[in-house]
Amino acid sequence: MNSIILQQPGKIVFGENSIQGLSEDNLILTSERILFLIATPLLKTLQPICEKITLSGKKVVVMEYTFPGEPTFVQFDSLLKKSTNFHTDCVVGVGGGSVLDCAKLLAALTDSEQQLTEIVGIGFLNDRSSKLICIPTTSGTGSEMSPNAILLNEETAAKSGIISPYLVPDACYIDPLLTVSLPTHLTAETGMDALSHCIEAYTNKFAHPAVDTYALKGIELIANNLHKACVDGHDLEARAAMSLGSMYGGLCLGPVNTSAVHALSYGLGGKFHVPHGLANAILMPEVLRFNLSADPKRHAEVARALGVKLQGTDEEIAEAGIEKIIEISKACGIPQHLSYIGITENILSELADIAMNVTRLLKNNPREVSKEDAIEIYKKLL
């Protein structure tokens, strides 16, 4: 087996009501100035915990995260400026992927000599002075487990990855109860995103047995529970299974990461503000169909994990897996066509150009993707 580096939070507190232990976490107890970055819908839920920490003698600042869509460089900068004078020694992010990515970068850049622009790319961050706790409120992004943060350049419409071991949180609290009030369409889109993390890791050119375990279990959990969580957001069993599946998807991101689905979705997100999970959900079936021939066996194993029982060749089983993904996606109310979200044929070339620039992810794809291939994939999905 090749050598691979697995980096994850040293402490993961998983389960219902797990956030109730936050105020007693050693990371909090050993900090003095705690900065909470909280998505608006969660402010009220976190209030008693923040108050408890304040009452214990700590300085607490709560910053509300209000930006829609994916965070931009300018938006993050405004958060950093707002927090600068607080000199936090522990950042706690509570929200979806955008909030967590910003919390991770706040922890990294608070009282740092490095500038945001210096750390874009892989491995440019020199250190992180602040402790970092991430608390996801969707089951999708996996940001709480990964060394990645993604920001959007508003001028160029390009998404940039900031990737560093220093962006892995010290601890995560994954509490399925925080996800029960997530609206159905966000449950569906973020859930399909988590599914794409697992599938793109398992079919990855750099797939590894130590990550396959997470990928396959994540696929199984999400396939069995995403629709249930969409039908009844208060189905706690389904929510907990989705939280676990999403956590496994997140564990795939650091060591193996995603491939062409994510690369082809960059332009949809960056340029046309299509939500990240939705873009991935629409693209996934056609990209997998394109990739299938490069590794029928692994694509068939994905299908098995999705619940396909069919007997047949690997190709047939894999194709049934793709149909199964479409079935789940449709059942959760996700549109299947790019035209539905306003994409027209004349912009496919531009989208493909953006995708071709995401070499960081394209290099992971089991089959080489040319610009023409990308356009063809988009076209099939119009």
List residues near a copy of itself by CB under 8 A.
1-18, 21, 26, 165, 168, 170, 175-176, 208-210, 213-214, 217, 240-241, 244, 247-248
Shortest distance, CB of residue 322 to a copy of itself, whole angstroms? Answer: 25
Least CB distance to a copy of itself at residue 6 (A): 4
Give 18 or 72: the residue with its C-beta nearer to a copy of itself: 18
Q: What's the closest the beta carbon of residue 129 comes to a copy of itself, in angstroms?
A: 14
Note whether 131 and 107 are within 8 A (CB).
yes
Q: Which is nearer to a copy of itself, 163 or 168 (CB)?
A: 168
Q: Considering beta carbons, is residue 18 or 75 the nearer one to a copy of itself? A: 18
Query: What is the nearest approach in angstroms of a copy of itself to the Cβ of residue 2?
Result: 5
CB 18 within 8 A of CB 175: yes
d(CA 69, CA 201): 25
Place of tokens 């996800």: 179
Report the C-alpha gap between 201 and 306 in whole angstroms: 15
Q: What token pair was written down for 149?
A: 């943060």
Compare residues 24 and 154 and give the one whose CB is closer to a copy of itself.
Answer: 24
Report in angstroms how near the CB of residue 245 gets to a copy of itself at its nearest.
Answer: 10
DSSP 241-282: HHHHHHHHHHHHHTTT---HHHHHHHHHHHTT---HHHHHHH
Name the minimum Å distance from CB 7 to a copy of itself. Answer: 5
- d(CA 379, CA 374) in angstroms, rounded, equals 9
- Between 89 and 170, CB nearer to a copy of itself: 170
How far is residue 5 CA from its own chain's centroid?
Answer: 19
Nearer to a copy of itself, 11 or 360 (CB): 11
Determine contact, residues 109/76, Cβ cutoff 8 Å: no
